[in-house]
C-alpha cells in the first residue's frame, strides 16, 4: 500500500475516535508535522476532514455521503441476491447489479453466464455512463440539474461505432429511457455484446439500483436479447418490492 495512503487512512481511523490536533496526529503517525499537514490539507479540500476554530481536526462531511452510499449498496445487494440468482439461472446469461455513487455508476454484483463466454466487467469497477445499460438507467434517474451537469463532464469515449459521443444524443437517449422504463446497450461498449437494463425502484419511486442482462452476439442477437426484457422487468419489480 502507498505510504501516503496508509497514513491518510490512519488519520481517518484516529479521527473516528475523536478530534485531534496536528501535533497529536503527528505523534500517532510518528512522522513530522509537515507530512501530516500536507495530507490533511488534501483531505480537507475533498471534505474528508474538517478543521474547527480551535485548529482541531474532525471527520468531514464527505464520509457521511460515502457511509450512506455504502449502507444502501449493501442493502440493495443483499435484497437483490436471490432474485439475481434466479434471473441468471432462468436466462443463463451474465447479470449485473449496479448502483450510483458520487457521479459514478459502480458494479456491486455480477453473476457470470453459464456459457463459456466471460465478460470483463468487475465488481467495484465503474460502468461507462454514456454507453452501458446500467449507466443510462442510473444517469436518467438523477435530478435534472445533476444530470445536466454530468452530461457536460462525461468523457464521451468511443468504444465502438455505436457508442454515443455527444451530450445531445445522450440527452435524447435518457429521455427515451425514462419514458420506456428500461435501457439498452446495443454493441455500444463492446462490439460483440448486447445488453438490456432496468431500474430498481423503492416504494417512493426513487431508483436505488439497476440490473442488466448482457449477452454476446454469438449466443443471442439483439432481437433475442430483447425477448428477455419481461423477465428482467419482473426481476427488478420483485427486488423493489422486497427492498421496501
**pLDDT at residue 45 tops 90:** yes
What is the 3-class SS of 103-148, one letter each residue? CEEEEEEEECCCCCCCCCCCCCCEECCCCCHHHHHHHHCCCHHHHH
Phi, psi of 187 (to 5 degrees): 55, 40
Architecture in CATH for domain 3-61: Orthogonal Bundle (1.10)
Q: Kindly indicate the confidence band of residue 111, based on its pLDDT and cuts at 50, 70 and 90.
A: very high
Check whether 118 has a pLDDT greater than 70.
Answer: no
Q: Does domain 74-243 have CATH number 3.50.50.60?
A: no
For the beta carbon of residue 217, count every other beta carbon within 10 angstroms. 15
Each residue of 160-211: pLDDT tens digit? 999 999 999 999 999 999 999 999 999 999 999 999 999 999 989 999 999 9
Domain residue spans in the chain? Answer: 3-61, 74-243
Band the pLDDT of 115: cuts 50, 70, 90: confident
Q: What is the pLDDT of residue 117?
A: 66
- In angstroms, the CA 159 to CA 120 distance is 14
Q: How far apart are CA 241 and CA 58, in angstroms?
A: 39
Instruction: Kindly state the average pLDDT of the residues 206-225.
Output: 95
How many Cα atoms occupy the beta-carbon half-sphere of 196 within 13 Å? 21
Average pLDDT value for the chain = 92
- To the question of pTM greater than 0.95 for the whole model, the response is no
The band of 122, judged by pLDDT with boundaries at 50, 70 and 90, is confident
Q: What is the mean pLDDT of residues 40-49?
A: 92
pLDDT in tens, 58-109: 999 888 777 767 777 778 999 999 999 999 999 999 999 999 988 899 999 9
Residue 93's pLDDT is 95
Listed ranges 55-59, 77-81, 132-136; the one with the highest mean pLDDT: 132-136
Q: Are 76 and 84 in contact (CB under 8 A)?
A: no
- Within 13 Å and on the Cβ side, how many CA atoms surround 153? 9
Higher pLDDT, 9 or 2: 9
- Edge-to-edge strands, sheet with 49-51: 20-21, 56-59, 49-51
Q: Tell me the average pLDDT across 227-232.
A: 98
pLDDT at 38: 93
Q: What are the Cα distances from residue 187, in Å, to 120, 141, 226?
A: 15, 22, 13
Q: Which of 18, 57, 16 is nearest to 39 (CA)?
A: 57
Say what the pLDDT of residue 116 is.
67
Mean pLDDT of 2-26: 91
Tell me what the mean pLDDT of segment 27-43 comes to. 93
DSSP reduced 3-state for 65: helix
Amino acid at each position: 500500500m502507498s505510504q501516503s495512503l496508509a497514513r491518510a487512512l490512519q488519520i481517518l481511523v484516529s479521527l473516528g475516535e475523536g478530534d485531534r490536533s496536528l501535533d497529536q496526529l503527528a505523534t500517532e503517525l510518528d512522522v513530522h508535522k509537515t507530512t501530516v499537514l500536507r495530507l490533511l490539507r488534501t483531505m480537507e479540500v475533498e471534505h474528508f476532514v474538517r478543521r474547527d476554530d480551535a485548529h482541531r481536526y474532525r471527520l468531514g462531511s464527505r464520509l457521511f455521503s460515502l457511509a450512506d452510499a455504502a449502507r444502501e449498496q449493501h442493502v440493495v445487494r443483499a435484497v437483490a441476491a436471490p432474485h439475481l440468482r434466479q434471473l441468471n439461472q432462468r436466462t443463463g446469461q451474465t447479470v449485473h447489479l449496479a448502483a450510483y455513487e458520487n457521479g459514478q455508476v459502480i458494479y456491486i454484483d455480477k453473476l457470470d453466464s453459464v456459457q463459456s463466454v466471460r465478460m470483463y466487467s468487475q465488481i467495484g469497477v465503474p460502468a461507462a455512463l454514456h454507453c452501458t445499460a446500467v449507466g443510462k438507467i442510473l444517469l436518467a434517474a438523477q435530478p435534472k440539474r445533476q444530470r445536466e451537469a454530468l452530461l457536460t463532464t462525461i468523457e464521451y469515449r468511443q468504444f465502438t461505432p455505436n457508442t454515443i459521443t455527444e451530450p445531445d444524443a445522450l440527452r435524447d437517449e435518457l429521455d427515451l429511457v425514462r419514458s420506456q422504463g428500461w435501457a439498452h446497450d446495443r454493441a455500444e461498449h463492446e462490439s460483440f455484446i448486447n445488453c438490456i437494463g432496468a431500474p430498481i425502484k423503492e416504494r417512493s419511486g426513487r431508483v436505488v439500483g439497476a440490473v442488466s442482462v448482457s449477452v454476446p452476439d454469438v449466443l443471442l442477437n439483439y432481437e433475442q436479447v430483447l425477448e428477455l426484457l419481461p423477465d428482467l422487468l419482473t426481476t427488478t419489480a420483485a427486488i423493489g418490492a422486497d427492498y421496501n
